[in-house]
Amino acid sequence: MTFNPVPFTQVTLNDSFWQPRQLVNREVSLPHVYAWLERTGRVDAFKLQWRAGDPNPPHIFWDSDVAKWLEAAAYSYADFPDSQLETLMYKVIALIASAQQPDGYLNTHFTVVEPGKRFTNLRDRHELYCAGHLIEAGVAHFQATSQRTLLEVVSRYADLIDATFGRAEGQKRGYPGHEELELALVKLYRATGKKRYLELSQYFVNERGLQPHYYDLEARARGDDPAAYWARTYAYLQAHAPVREQTEVVGHAVRAMYLYSAMTDLARETDDESLFRACETLWEHLTTRRMYVTGGIGSSGHNEGFTSDYDLPDLSAYAETCASIGLVFWAHRLSNLTGESKYVDVLERALYNGVASGVSLNGRGFFYENPLASLGNHHRQEFFDCACCPPNVARLFASLGQYFYSTDGAEIAVQLYGQGSARIGDLTLQQVTEYPWDGRIRLQIETSKPASFKLHLRLPGWCTSYRLSLNEQVVSPTLERGYLCLQRKWHSGDEILLDLEMPVVYLRSHPLVASGVGRAALQRGPLVYCLESADHSGVSVHHLMAPKEASAWRVEKSTDWESVITLQTEGLQFDASAWNKSLYSTQIPTTQPASLTAIPYCLWDNRAPGEMRVWLPLETR
Active site residue ranges: 304, 388
Q: How many CB atoms lie within 10 A of CB 564?
A: 17
- For residues 571 and 547, what is the distance between their CA atoms, to the nearest angstrom? 5
Cβ 173 vs Cβ 164: under 8 Å: no
- Reduced to 3 states (helix: H, G, I; strand: E, B; else coil), residue 508 is coil
The three state secondary structure string of 353-403 is HHHHHHECCCCCCECCCCCCEECCCCCCECCCCCCCHHHHHHHHHHCHHHH
Print burial letters for 437-470: b (CB count within 10 Å at least 16), e (below 16): bebebebbbbbeeebebbbbbbbbebbeebebeb
Instruction: Say how far apart CA 466 and CA 439 lie, in whole Å.
Output: 9
Q: What long-range pairs does 159-167 form, CB within 8 A, spacing at least 24?
A: 159/104, 160/103, 160/104, 160/105, 161/128, 161/131, 161/200, 162/196, 162/197, 162/200, 164/119, 165/200, 165/203, 165/204, 166/200, 166/203, 167/203, 167/207
> C-alpha angle with apex 26: 20 to 29, nearest 5 degrees?
95
Torsions phi, psi of 583, nearest 5? -95, -35
Instruction: Annotate 98-131 with DSSP letters as a single string.
Output: HT--TTS---HHHHHTSTT-TTS-TTTS-HHHHH
Q: How far is it, in rounded angstroms, from Cα 45 to Cα 50? A: 7
Structure-derived torsion over alpha carbons of residues 264, 269, 270, 274, reported in degrees to the nearest 10: 20
Give the whole-angstrom CA distance, residue 148 versus residue 126. 25
Strand partners, 570: 595
Q: Categorise residue 394: left if φ over 0, alpha if ψ from -120 to 50, beta otherwise.
A: alpha
In order of 56, 58, 112, 155, 433, the CA distances from 52 in angstroms are 10, 11, 8, 30, 59
Give the integer Cα–Cα distance in Å for 20 and 17.
Answer: 6
Run of H or E including 189: helix 181-192
User: Are 304 and 253 in contact, with CB atoms under 8 Å apart?
Assistant: yes
- SS (HEC) of 191-243: HHCCHHHHHHHHHHHHHCCCCCCHHHHHHHHCCCCHHHCCCCCHHHHCCCCCH
Separation of alpha carbons 184 and 218, rounded Å:
24
Answer for the pair 251, 235: CB distance below 8 angstroms, yes or no: yes
Rg for the chain (alpha carbons), in Å? 25
Burial environment of residue 348 by CB neighbours within 10 A (0 to 12, 13 to 18, 19 or more): buried
Cβ neighbour number for residue 493 with a 10 Å cutoff: 10
